Amino acid sequence: MTMTAPSFSQIKAQVAAIRQKAPQAKVIGIHSSGRWTGESIARDGDQDYAIHQCDSPLSFRIALRQPAEGQMTKVLITNLDEHDLGDDILLRLAKRRLFQIDPWQIVRALFDAHAVDPRLTKHAWIAESLLELIPGNGYPAARGGFLDAETVWPLLLEQSIGLQAESPDLTSLLKWSLDADATKQFRHCPDAFRHGAGEWLMEKAGPVAGILLQCVERLDRPDAVPIGLAAGVVYHSAAIGKLEKATGKLEERFLGGKSPEADHMQRWSAAATDVLRALRHTESKNYRKTVQRADEILREVQADPMAYLSDTSQLGFDQRLERVGKQLSDVLERGTWDSLGGLFEARDQLGRHDQSNQEKRRLERVDMALRLVRWLESQPGHAGEPESFADAASRQLQEGGFLDWARLSLRSGDPVRHLSEAYSRLFELVRQIREQQSQGFAKLLTDWTAAGSQGNDVIPVERALEQIVAPLAAEGLVLVIVVDGMSVAVCRELLTDVTRHEWIAISEPGRTFNRPGVAAIPSVTEFSRTSLLCGKLRQGHQADEKAGFAEHPTLVERSRSGSPPVLFHKAGLQEQDDSVLAAEVRKEIASTHRRVVGVVVNAVDDHLLKGEQIDTRWSRDEIKVLPALLHEARIARRLVVLLSDHGHVLDCQAVGRSFKDELAGGERWRSSEGAAGEDELQVEGSRVMVAGRQLIAPWSERVRYGIKKNGYHGGLTPQEMIVPIAVLSSTDDFPKGWSEQPIDTPAWWDEPSPISVEAVKPVPKLKSSKPQTSGTLFDLEEKAPTPVVEGVKLPKWVSSLLASPIFEDQKRLGGRGVPADEVFTKLLVALDGRGGKLTSVALARTLEFPAVRLPGLLAKAERILNVDGYDVLRRDDASDTIELNRDLLLKQFDLVE
């Protein structure tokens, strides 16, 4: 029996509890020593109450006679006992009795419970709170009739402070802490609630929850997650002995001067990191604010110099970039390549930072720098000078283009000064070597040209259609895409993207790779492109090219009568009704009568005129018309021949130089009057297409004769003179004699794989008839034989996986075409050896598997390894990497490492 006046909440709860068993009850009597002093008419939502204080039987009878409108409930409160009331009164009360105001008794009734958890009843205020917080549809019935703390506390926390979690952990608690209104509610809750909630949350989430709640209670800002992120730096194992002052400042400002255990703070940090990562895709604005606030805290406590220890700090990401720059500078300063571990470790740490997913282009530049370092490392044992012009041209195709792609990507530098300066030094070092190579190439070119341009290992640009396109047209439909000005470097970058989208690069009969083409001299459009499209050396413009292409003898010979080759230039590729690709072009590509269709794309050449401050990535989508052309060609089952008329050099501090007769020359060539300078050569021969069949042009990329632009062409460098020729098929039905090209990236281009494909021996199958024993008295299970790599045991978990019943079940569910166990072994060991992540090219090289077919193999492997849809194995198309989550694999297949 309560000694205080009943509250309206208690009255409502008592009425709700009675109505659970007597829904029609309209008059309810309540025994209370305290008197009701509130209003006689009260409303809660759509429910009205008429509350009367009755101190005598007469007052009961008077109250009972008063009319109650609608759904109004009449509540009669008295300090009389039931035997003091007449039967006429009791008969009109619900259950014919007076009810006691006992909060826990009411709570039991509300939850339809027979007993209450002692962990709850020790807090008298909990019952009162439950009576205050009754939801509109009532409380759920207690499981088994026992009202336990696991039922009540989640209700209290959600109703009181907005914390929604049936079984709260640090992650859910930190997620809640991001809501400033919710944390403010917690600070304004009674002391008893905060103390009880802290005890409960510590019981469920561990002692860190108590530290965290004290922080929330102390601070006005919702800083629990940022503090946790900052703690990841301050309490990092690598910061021991280095950030004592920062630790003191953090504890003083944010933890009330207390010194929690480092292990507890690390747990807080790990949970905060999980919460932050969940925000990245759902609440990007809140994500940025949280990261910024964490960095502010690091600065406040003066721990910011070691922000690089954090995988989430924006400041730390910049510091990791700076560390890469310093490591790279150190390598370049030493001038030796035998100690690169620090540089590669700095890159690995950079890749582990969350920000790397948003800064893919910056990471690509870092990777390009590392590729160049690996190339420099390989130089002492590298092949000597090329023996012939054909050899030099082939080297540009097989290696030089990759070098140019890598080094030119560094032109954009990086916002971080140390890294940008390191890029500049590396660029200059590689350029010096490339300049020497260009000089040697140019000398071989001039000799080859003077000797009559003989040989079958390079294709003069005027013979490209005859030697490549015409034989293909004899067997099927062909689309010729001439990308004006496309260098080998641009072609390499472009093909890397195109061959990831249903296109297969194929090679000429009898060759592993296609031959390089060589531009006309000078290597400019009016000479080289006209010669290419007309099939003979000549100077001309678009009208000449269109007519020459339609009349090309070998192409006409392969064409159907009345359907000669047709060529489209820039103006004819688009129209008002179709801003991507004109209907006439689509029609001709789709036509089975038109065996050869050609298009000229000016994207690269246009880029040379402008865009010096634009960081261009040459992908399929960068060239607006290319996706539509490839789409139409694939539908029509046309082969695609992607080639250029000449290449180019980009302006990298090229020095302008004038010559006397400005009409007798171009941006990168001049008449043969006067002597050639130290960085120039005189070239003469039948393929020199100016008066007198001779001219002077630079072998160095540092020289220009015209106004400053983004890039130039016309010189004698391999970047300008070598024409890439790629043949692409969208099906496995290749022309006779043609074959799929193997991966042709240089060894230094890809990350070194931990194994070679030859090193992995086939994994022996278990034979149930002859189980292998352990040699002990009792063999409880068969033991899988352990595969070896050149005598070294493979990781135990790999052989355990192959022997796993779950793995066998997954393979049966995988359907047809499940990869062999040997393939899984190579795949898993290769990924695990590189920390769980490899580029698709590096993985394809390790498996000796065509890159274009790798997605199919990975899709089948994912069906086997990704049990219940969990991403054990996944491919990130944006970064072109394949990632293995070994910990998740072990868990899903119930394995022990």
* CATH for 643: 3.40.720
Pairing status of strand 711-712 against strand 722-723: unpaired
On whether both 492 and 618 belong to a single domain, the answer is yes
On whether both 123 and 213 belong to a single domain, the answer is yes
Q: HSE (CB half, 13 Å, CA atoms) of 478?
A: 30
Close Cβ partners of 846 (under 8 Å, ≥ 6 residues apart) = 753, 755, 756, 757, 826, 830, 838
Residue 667 lies in a domain: no
Q: 756, 777, 771: which is closest to 842 by C-alpha?
A: 756
On whether both 544 and 630 belong to a single domain, the answer is yes
On whether both 428 and 469 belong to a single domain, the answer is no
How high is the pLDDT of residue 44? 82
Residue 39 lies in a domain: yes
The number of helix segments (H) and strand segments (E) in the chain equals 38, 28
How high is the pLDDT of residue 774? 39
On whether both 504 and 409 belong to a single domain, the answer is no
Nearest 5°: phi and psi at 593?
Answer: -85, -30
- Token couple for 321: 């970039």
The owner of tokens 């790599």 is: 789
Nearest 5°: phi and psi at 31?
Answer: -90, 125
| Cα 109 off chain centre by | 54
Q: 656, 690, 654: which is closest to 673 by C-alpha?
A: 690
Residue-number span of the structural domain to which 249 is assigned: 221-309
How high is the pLDDT of residue 4? 61
End-to-end CA distance of the chain: 63
- At which of 218, 238, 255 does a domain end? 218
How high is the pLDDT of residue 132? 79
Q: What is the mean pLDDT, run by run of 10 residues, along the chain of 897 residues?
A: 65 81 87 84 85 92 86 90 89 88 79 89 85 81 90 89 88 93 92 91 92 92 94 94 93 91 94 92 89 96 95 96 96 86 92 90 94 88 82 95 95 94 96 95 96 92 96 96 96 91 90 93 96 96 96 95 94 79 93 96 88 79 92 96 96 81 80 89 95 94 91 95 96 91 84 49 38 38 44 73 88 81 87 79 76 79 84 78 86 81
Give the alpha-carbon dihedral of 517, 611, 714, 547, to 10 degrees.
Answer: 60
Residue 765 is classified by DSSP as: P
Please report, as a single letter, which amino acid is at residue 668.
Answer: R
On whether both 204 and 162 belong to a single domain, the answer is yes
Please report, as a single letter, which amino acid is at residue 525.
Answer: T
Nearest 5°: phi and psi at 262?
Answer: -60, -35
Please report, as a single letter, which amino acid is at residue 659.
Answer: F
Q: Helices marked H in 814-853 — which ranges?
A: 821-833, 840-847
Angle at 586 between CA 585 and CA 589, to 5 degrees: 85
Residue 572 lies in a domain: yes
Q: How many domains does the chain have?
A: 6
On whether both 603 and 487 belong to a single domain, the answer is yes
Helix or strand run (H / E) with residue 556: helix 553-558
On whether both 467 and 562 belong to a single domain, the answer is yes
On whether both 305 and 355 belong to a single domain, the answer is no
- Token couple for 165: 């979690």
Cα–Cα distance, 540 to 839 (Å, whole number): 44
On whether both 297 and 323 belong to a single domain, the answer is no
How high is the pLDDT of residue 778? 35
Please report, as a single letter, which amino acid is at residue 176.
Answer: W
Residue 698 lies in a domain: no
Report pTM. 0.78
How high is the pLDDT of residue 106? 77
How high is the pLDDT of residue 568? 95
On whether both 338 and 419 belong to a single domain, the answer is yes
Close Cβ partners of 299 (under 8 Å, ≥ 6 residues apart) = none
Residue 302 lies in a domain: yes
Residue 3 lies in a domain: no
Residue 693 lies in a domain: no
- Do 119 and 94 form a contact (C-beta atoms < 8 A)? no
Close Cβ partners of 550 (under 8 Å, ≥ 6 residues apart) = 556, 564, 565, 566, 567
How high is the pLDDT of residue 223? 92
What is the biggest distance separating any 2 CA atoms in the chain, rounded to whole angstroms? 134
- At which of 450, 472, 487 does a domain end? 450
- Token couple for 484: 């004006």
Nearest 5°: phi and psi at 729?
Answer: -125, 140
How high is the pLDDT of residue 597? 97
Q: Exposed/middle/buried for 766, CB within 10 Å: 0-12, 13-18, 19+?
A: middle
Residue 778 lies in a domain: no
- At which of 218, 240, 266 does a domain end? 218
Close Cβ partners of 464 (under 8 Å, ≥ 6 residues apart) = 517, 532, 643, 723, 725
How high is the pLDDT of residue 669? 94
List 98's β-bridge partners, or say none: 29
How high is the pLDDT of residue 882? 87
Q: 619, 689, 605, 606: which is closest to 648 by C-alpha?
A: 605
The owner of tokens 């007597």 is: 22
- Do 439 and 346 form a contact (C-beta atoms < 8 A)? no
Please report, as a single letter, which amino acid is at residue 617.
Answer: R
Q: Exposed/middle/buried for 575, CB within 10 Å: 0-12, 13-18, 19+?
A: middle
ω into 522 cis (within 30 of 0): yes
Cα–Cα distance, 327 to 347 (Å, whole number): 10
How high is the pLDDT of residue 444? 97
Nearest 5°: phi and psi at 696?
Answer: -120, 135
Q: 132, 155, 129: which is closest to 142 by C-alpha?
A: 155
How high is the pLDDT of residue 248? 94
On whether both 501 and 630 belong to a single domain, the answer is yes
